[in-house]
Structure 1
Amino acid sequence: MAQDEGTLVVKAPRHVAIIMDGNGRWAKMRGRPRLFGHHAGARRVREIVEACPDLGVEYLTIFGFSTENWKRTQIEVAGLMSLFRSYIRKEARALREKNVRVRFIGDRPGLDEKLRTLMDELEEMTSGCTGTNLTIALNYGGRDEVARATKRLAEDVAAGRLDPARIDEETLPKYLDTCVLPDPDLVIRTSGEARISNFLLWQSAYAEYEFIDTLWPDFSRDVFASVMESYGQRERRYGAVRA
């Protein structure tokens, strides 16, 4: 954080991850079904993605559907899967026109074939984009990701491609779903809940956290900018002490 002629210069986080919580409560407050809130939350995503360049955010990762969300009612899960398919179809062209590179993380085999195909197509369609990097976590769980990564690592050891004596904390990240992404600098959770819900467990070891009361469908560009300003007041020491 620097001073320039009395003006506060705020350093933006390069990578922001968001746990988009509160859609159901937002809908309930309006006497509507939970899926109404999920649709409102999906519409909010575009505004936040488009705000990233102005706020200096290069990477945005959003938590769309967790491995634990399968425990919800069949109606809600089916509605969410339909929403994801619809979102990709509707937003694909706009994302490419906005120069947004899209990636998906999570356990893809657990998703239906139509959705997986759309995910693959969107990744390919935006592969040449050089603006905001949007990563969408679908059927994602931090523990599941680490387990899958460890399995691939063990397979490489068994095949003689990896010397176990050379494994260190820099090795496992190469096997994670996020291997091409920088670690998040800031993790935001909306709706007032103060837990991380199995999201980016390894990657967020030194991330800053911001738990805010705003429900996700109300998380506007202005709210996002306010959180960025708050982040800019923090001092990140990574275990060191200030000289």
Structure 2
Amino acid sequence: MHLAIIMDGNGRWAKKRGLKRVEGHKKGAEVVRDITAYCANNPDIEILTLYAFSTENWKRPKMEIDFLMKLLDNWLKKELTTYIENDIKFDVIGDISKFSTKLRERIEYTKKVTKNNKKLTQILALNYGSRDEITRAVKKLTEKNEEITPENIQKNLDISRDVDLLIRTSGEIRVSNFLLWQIAYAEMFFTKTLWPDFTSKELEQILNEFKKRERRFGGI
């Protein structure tokens, strides 16, 4: 199964508690660890893709962006042991060319060290937007002078594997330019729970509900 999650609600979680937005991001990072560990121990889940930083997030205040970049760098450094011990492969989708050299090197190093891990692939969507991804895929085909077909576009996306289940936290009911191609036939769940309050128990409940759904992929 390919599970994709739009992790929404960090800022609102912090605001409700009279805290700065960055405190919500810190708590959200802890939830990423818990949810990833749960998925690594669930044999049904092969890929976990998390929407971490969108192409639109650059519009946020510089102080918050700088904090998020530092948080990501520290996260990768701290969690490397967790990736290795839990046999988790780390990968990214999106255009990370805008990130600092230090952060890009951290990302590439983590990918290199974990590339042979097999229990779960955790993918962070970083500076990612689905329209940008599809545009880049079409450009690749044009440059290679290959025919533009659905099959060829999918092969040239950042990730070609279709999403089986999409979850969005925080009560918002939209997909926000996330994996638009890959979620064509995905089952979707929207929970009012803010991301910092999301738990593996709630995820398990959603997975159990997902198993009850009949997926027809356009058929009868």
What TM-score do the two structures reach when normalised by structure 1?
Answer: 0.88
With 120-129 and 167-176 compared, the bigger mean Cα shift is at 167-176
Matched positions, count: 219
Map of 1:174 onto structure 2: 155
Q: Does the Cα contact within 8 Å between 1:55 and 1:228 map onto a contact in 2?
A: no
Map of 1:29 onto structure 2: 16
Please point out which of 52, 58, 79 is paired with 1:64. Answer: 52
Please point out which of 126, 131, 146 is paired with 2:114. Answer: 126
Q: What SS does structure 2 have at the residue aligned with 1:170? A: helix
Q: Does the Cα contact within 8 Å between 1:184 and 1:203 map onto a contact in 2?
A: yes
Deviations along 1:98-141, one digit per CA (max 9) or x if unpaired, are 10011011011121111110000000010110111111100000
Query: In 1, distance between residues paired with 2:92 and 2:132?
Result: 15
Query: In 2, distance between residues paired with 1:230 and 1:173?
Result: 28
Map of 2:166 onto structure 1: 187
1:212 partner amino acid: T
1:26 partner amino acid: W
Query: In 2, distance between residues paired with 1:96 and 1:237?
Result: 37
Map of 2:80 onto structure 1: 92
Query: In 1, distance between residues paired with 2:216 and 2:119?
Result: 29
Q: Does the Cα contact within 8 Å between 1:185 and 1:207 map onto a contact in 2?
A: yes
1:214 partner amino acid: T
Deviations along 1:72-114, one digit per CA (max 9) or x if unpaired, are 0111111111111110011011111110011011011121111
Map of 1:6 onto structure 2: none
Q: What SS does structure 2 have at the residue aligned with 1:171? A: helix
Equivalent residue runs for 1:94-113 within 5 Å: 94-113=82-101
Query: In 2, distance between residues paired with 1:186 and 1:116?
Result: 29
CA offset at residue 174 of structure 1?
A: 1.2
1:60 partner amino acid: L
Query: In 2, distance between residues paired with 1:192 and 1:184?
Result: 20
Deviations along 1:161-206, one digit per CA (max 9) or x if unpaired, are x3x3xx4211111111113xx2110000000000000000111111
2:202 partner amino acid: V
Query: In 1, distance between residues paired with 2:8 and 2:209?
Result: 20
Please point out which of 24, 34, 40 is paired with 2:27. Answer: 40
CA offset at residue 55 of structure 1?
A: 6.2
Query: In 2, distance between residues paired with 1:175 and 1:112?
Result: 25
CA offset at residue 56 of structure 1?
A: 2.1
With 205-214 and 54-63 compared, the bigger mean Cα shift is at 54-63
Query: In 1, distance between residues paired with 2:97 and 2:71?
Result: 18
Query: In 1, distance between residues paired with 2:123 and 2:42?
Result: 18
> Which protein has the larger Cα radius of gyration, Structure 1 or Structure 2?
1
Query: In 1, distance between residues paired with 2:80 and 2:94?
Result: 20
For structure 1, list consecutive stretches of 5 or more residues without a partner in the other structure: 1-13
Map of 1:216 onto structure 2: 195
* Counterparts in 2 of 1:228 and 1:124: CA distance versus 1, 3 Å: same
